[in-house]
Structure 1
Amino acid sequence: MILIRSLLYLLSMVITTVILAGLLSIIGWILPYRRRCQIANAWGGVNLWCLKFFCRLDYRIEGLEKIPEHGAIILAKHQSAWETMALRALLPPEQAWVLKRELMWIPFFGWAAATVQPIAINRKAGRKAARQVIDIGIERLKQKRLVVIFPEGTRVAPGEHKKYGMGGALLAEKTGVPVIPVAHNAGTFWRRRDIRKYPGTVEVVVGDPIRTTGRKAADINNEVESWIEQTMSHIQ
């Protein structure tokens, strides 16, 4: 039954992506930026509803009020595809996501993503990619957008740990903009390389803003990593 429900959800996700991403791809460029972001958020919200309806997978979030409309860097745990939809839906609309450039080549999804102006990087480029995150990130923060980054860079299975990349922390050091850490256990229910979505409730915890003014990137990164991983030990 879990597999059947998961396949029904997958079908619904394809349909909603074709419809909403197709809409953004066609008319997004002539809409005001905030309206484009609201359509992207609607896509995330519809998929959260479909997950609950088909797979009985819900979520509970603590601390959402700590996230401002703009002027912050969100550094989040990365375990599955769930958070790419959920954070899109739950955060204020004007978001600039750091993502791998290959995602921009996906029909409909990638075309729509381009309209909301993400920071698309070549992960193999090393320091050049980090510089891109900083340079474009500064520009996006000046445009009063939230910059959303997964510091682990790739999905990490529950119980496993990967060294956090420095891109988000370097951006914070350069700008003095606060960092807001986000922990969640989505990988328990939506696993890597598994089509099945298991019923339950994803726990999402938003931390207090971390002060970055006058601090070094390594210090910021260590505090973010420590908070997220300690919080994960309570919600895994």
Structure 2
Amino acid sequence: MSRPAPPTGGHPGSLIRGLLFHLGLVVTVLIWTMVSLPSFGLPLRWRYWWITRWCSIVAWMVRVIGGIRIEVNGLENRPAKPAVVLAKHQSAWETLNLLPWFYPQSWVLKRELLRIPLFGWGLARLDPIAIDRAAGREALRQVIDQGRQKLARGRWVVVFPEGTRVPPGERGRYQQGGALLACRAGAQVVPVAHNAGEHWPRRGLRMIPGVIRVEIGAPIDTTGRTPAEVNGLAEAWIESRMATISGGQAAGG
């Protein structure tokens, strides 16, 4: 199912911004990984705090180099107890920049990412839920078992139910793994919608100036509900908000 995609490529300076931004990503991840090596032997809480300071650097580059502002609505909807976050997946932005609002968090991600030199080393030290997508039911079991452990330790679990980045204006198939985890753990689900893909596209180098709008929905109680019901409620809320926030006017760059 798809909607007309908003224009994202014709803004003056977007390619120059993108080239500078991605160069900054490469340089800072190399530097930050090297300066973070001594923290690898520290307790998880300390090394997590230090390594994730890089996300703050990325957020600064998004704002200053990319010319992109962030607007967040619904912060009051966050439950006091860590929950399962089901978020729209359009960009690399949400893999790094949901952290200030859901801290500390564990991501469900592809195991192959941990094999990337330097970047993967640091990522592995953040104790993510790394799965083999080709493992089928075993991968789902890993999400449930590890996810319950993370929640019990006071960590948010961030899941992108579409599984892969979906271009703006399009809608992927929402998989039930995150909802199943929440139901098994007795945790709430927090749906998150955003239009980051309109400004930090999943492909190409352009960074499109403008506003990333983030909407945090009211928690979905899993008590007495099936994973399919919970997943459906989250999907319906996210996609209804996408129809509102998608295609906002971007500023020139």
The alignment's TM-score, normalised by the length of structure 2, stands at 0.88
Deviation at 1:68, TM superposition (A): 4.6
How do 1:45-56 and structure 2 match up within 5 A? 45-56=56-67
Report if the CA contact (8 A) 2:150-2:157 is conserved: yes
Pair 1:117-2:136 in alignment: no
More helix by share: 1
> Structure 1 residues 212, 187: CA separation in 2 closer, same or farther (over 3 Å shift)?
same
1:59 counterpart (70, 80, 100):
70
Q: Give the match for residue 148 of structure 2.
A: 138
Q: Give the match for residue 180 of structure 1.
A: 190
Per-residue CA deviations over 1:102-138 (Å, capped at 9, x if unaligned) read: 1111111110011110000111222111111001111
The gaps in structure 1 that reach 5 residues or longer are none
| Larger RCO of the pair (alpha carbons < 8 Å, separation 6+) | 2
Could you say what secondary structure the match of 2:65 adopts? helix
Per-residue CA deviations over 1:194-219 (Å, capped at 9, x if unaligned) read: 11011001000000111012211111
The gaps in structure 2 that reach 5 residues or longer are 1-12, 247-253
The 10-residue stretch of structure 1 (102-111 or 61-70) with the greater mean CA deviation from structure 2:
61-70
Equivalents in 1 of 2:79, 2:50: separation in Å? 20
> Which aligned segments of 4 or more residues in structure 1 are displaced greater than 3 angstroms?
none
Deviation at 1:141, TM superposition (A): 1.0
Report if the CA contact (8 A) 2:83-2:151 is conserved: yes
Q: Give the match for residue 10 of structure 2.
A: none
Pair 1:9-2:26 in alignment: no
Equivalents in 1 of 2:101, 2:52: separation in Å? 8
Q: Give the match for residue 84 of structure 1.
A: 95
2:55 counterpart (18, 26, 44):
44
Percent sequence identity is 48
The 10-residue stretch of structure 1 (38-47 or 130-139) with the greater mean CA deviation from structure 2:
38-47
> Structure 1 residues 80, 129: CA separation in 2 closer, same or farther (over 3 Å shift)?
same
Q: Give the match for residue 157 of structure 1.
A: 167
Could you say what secondary structure the match of 1:113 adopts? helix
Equivalents in 2 of 1:55, 1:94: separation in Å? 26
How do 1:202-221 and structure 2 match up within 5 A? 202-221=212-231
Could you say what secondary structure the match of 1:55 adopts? coil
Pair 1:148-2:144 in alignment: no
Report if the CA contact (8 A) 2:104-2:156 is conserved: yes
Equivalents in 2 of 1:167, 1:119: separation in Å? 12
> Structure 1 residues 94, 168: CA separation in 2 closer, same or farther (over 3 Å shift)?
same
Deviation at 1:70, TM superposition (A): 4.8
Equivalents in 2 of 1:140, 1:203: separation in Å? 28
Q: Give the match for residue 7 of structure 2.
A: none
Deviation at 1:40, TM superposition (A): 3.6
The alignment's TM-score, normalised by the length of structure 1, stands at 0.94
Which letter does structure 1 place at the counterpart of 2:44?
Answer: Y
Q: Give the match for residue 19 of structure 1.
A: 31
Per-residue CA deviations over 1:61-90 (Å, capped at 9, x if unaligned) read: 1122433565211110000111112113x2
Equivalents in 1 of 2:81, 2:245: separation in Å? 28
